[in-house]
Structure 1
Amino acid sequence: MTTALADKTCTPCRGGIPPLEREEAEALRANCKDWELPDDGHRIERKFHFTNFREALNFVEGVGELAEAERHHPEICFGWGYAKVSLQTKKIKGLHENDFIMAVKIDRLFDSTRASVADRNK
């Protein structure tokens, strides 16, 4: 199902629909296993690790470009060697399939970022 989510595009959420129930969120989270679903169940988040500030910054810029393309904007906190990304659909104050679509796409971006860093270090 990861491929299926990665092939989807975030759809605008206009509100008025209920957020995913925890069980539904857990089922979708199986596609992005490194993401955590905190106890409140209203968001998913993941901390990414890098070897320096520049790699973290480049990743955050890539996430920003992806967010603009998908029109689904995460909260991002980053610093030397890390970036923490949190996803939530604010219009419904909870989780929507869009959050998991973004998570899978962010994971792919991270994997490609790590691969390009490894290639440069060869």
Structure 2
Amino acid sequence: MTGLAGETITDGAPALDMARAETLLAGLPGWALTADGRGISREWRFKSFRGAAALANLAAWQAEAANHHPDIAFGWGFARVTFTTHSAGGVTMNDLIMAARLNQATD
């Protein structure tokens, strides 16, 4: 799934069925479906607040550039990013593309 980060965000992308989302998610290390199955989430650990804030800012800037915004939580030693497409009611290719872009920037 190395090319996913280079794919284009598409307005109105439909939600993926659970099996397809899980298959594609297997190619995104660190990411998992949320408990309700309507989003994907990853958490990073850091040795400082500064590292967590930097990751949160990176995710925010990438999201703003793509106009596809996640929920971001961070504090001392952790940052968690969760993508979902509310308008589609679940995980779309856009969410997976954004996760791949964030992985590419951080791994």
Of 76, 91, 96, the residue aligned with 2:87 is 91
Write out aligned runs for 1:38-117 (5 A). Answer: 38-111=34-107
Q: Please say which of residues 35-44 and 65-74 is displaced more in the overlay.
A: 35-44
Give the number of the structure whose alpha-carbon radius of gyration is greater: 1
Q: Are 1:11 and 2:7 counterparts?
A: no
Q: Please say which of residues 28-37 and 67-76 is displaced more in the overlay.
A: 28-37
Q: Distance in 2 between matches of 1:59 and 1:37?
A: 20
How many residue pairs match? The answer is 107
Partner-residue secondary structure (3-state), 2:36: coil
The two structures, once aligned, show a CA RMSD in angstroms of: 1.3
Q: Distance in 2 between matches of 1:70 and 1:97?
A: 13
Runs of at least 4 residues of structure 1 off by over 4 A? Answer: none
**Distance apart, 1:63 and its partner CA:** 0.8
Contact 1:12 1:71 in 2 (8 A): no
Which of the pair is proportionally richer in helix? 1
Partner-residue secondary structure (3-state), 1:90: coil
Report which structure shows greater RCO (CA 8 Å, sep ≥6).
Answer: 2
Unpaired stretches in structure 1, ≥5 consecutive residues: 112-122
Q: Normalising by structure 1, what TM-score? A: 0.81
Unpaired stretches in structure 2, ≥5 consecutive residues: none
